[in-house]
Amino acid sequence: MTTVTPPKSIEQLLERAEKLASKSLAQLAEEFRAQLPDHLLLEKGWVGQFIEHLLGATSGSLPQPDFPELGVELKTIPINPLGKPLESTFVSVVNLHQPASEQWETSIVKKKLEHVLWMPIIVHPNSPLNQRIIGMPLLWRPSADEWQILKNDWEETMEKVCLGKFGQLNARFGQALQVRPKAANSKVLTDVVGSDGEITQTLPRGFYLRSSFTQKVLTQLSYS
DNA sequence: AGTTGATCATAC
DNA sequence: GTATGATCAACT
């Protein structure tokens, strides 16, 4: 695949992103000599990683924004032709091990969401992967209202983790930031401190943005 | 149809 | 196992 150097500025990053808009995955795969899979069943993160390559992201699997020098996180998001998100958006894993040492201000979630480059991927119903079209990118910073909601959700989650209430750590909580399993499968377990201070095991979890939240972000409406 | 829980590839 | 990139698929 053609290699792309890291962008030197946010302007350059946005310029690159805008040049991808309205192109299909088939076009881009040809242009950058990439092997486009037939479907995402076995490579669910393929589109996201492809767009990372095209824009010159470097973070790999480090827990930091995709463009560390620019402080920008890249998120691809599948939308239908009307602009409605088809999925939630994964943000980062939940720290289940030393939750008491975590503060919102220094959290990975806050670092990543401070500045996000949204790359919508337009999905027509029942159409193959290679016909998906890149939409117009959106450089987003959360508003004060959005920050408040995200912070509250994060703090309520981490409080449950600190108290060892893993049974309450499910997808039903959180207005914008939701907690769901994040593992290879449901048999994967990780050591944690339970509600009585005992060592137990639980499923690894991740923070996800609900699609109701990202929908409003993408249409530039305030979330309140 | 929307939501919640489960799952897949890969690097280290 | 844990982190990245997410979407799949069962359930309500």
Length of chain A in terms of residues written: 224
pLDDT mean across residues, chain A: 96
Rg of chain A, C-alpha, whole Å: 18
Give strand B nucleotides closer than 7 A to any protein Cβ.
Answer: 3-12
pLDDT of residue A163: 97
- Alpha-carbon A36 to chain mean position: 21
pLDDT of residue A61: 86
Please tell me whether any atom of strand B lies within 7 Å of the Cβ of A221: no
Which band of pLDDT confidence, cut at 50, 70 and 90, is reported for residue A1?
confident
Beta-strand (E) ranges in chain A?
73-79, 89-93, 116-122, 133-134, 138-140, 177-181, 190-193, 199-202, 205-209
Considering all nucleic acid strands, name the nucleotide whose C1' atom is nearest to the C-alpha of residue A186: B6
pLDDT, one tens digit per residue, over A184-220 is 999 999 999 999 999 999 999 999 999 999 999 999 7
- Encoded tokens for A12: 């350059």
User: Which residues have Cβ atoms closer than 7 angstroms to strand C?
Assistant: A 39-41, 43-45, 47-49, 51-52, 59-63, 66, 73-78, 87-90, 92-93, 95, 97, 108, 121, 180, 182-184, 188-191, 204, 206, 208
Residue holding tokens 């509250």? A152
Which band of pLDDT confidence, cut at 50, 70 and 90, is reported for residue A224?
very low
pLDDT, one tens digit per residue, over A112-170 is 999 999 999 999 999 999 999 999 999 999 999 999 999 999 999 999 999 999 999 99
- Alpha-carbon A31 to chain mean position: 26
Distance, CA of A111 to CA of A65 (rounded, Å): 7
Q: What are phi and psi of A222, to 5 degrees?
A: -75, 150
Considering all nucleic acid strands, name the nucleotide whose C1' atom is nearest to the C-alpha of residue A60: C4
CA to C1' distance (Å), from A121 to C3: 24
pTM of the model: 0.96
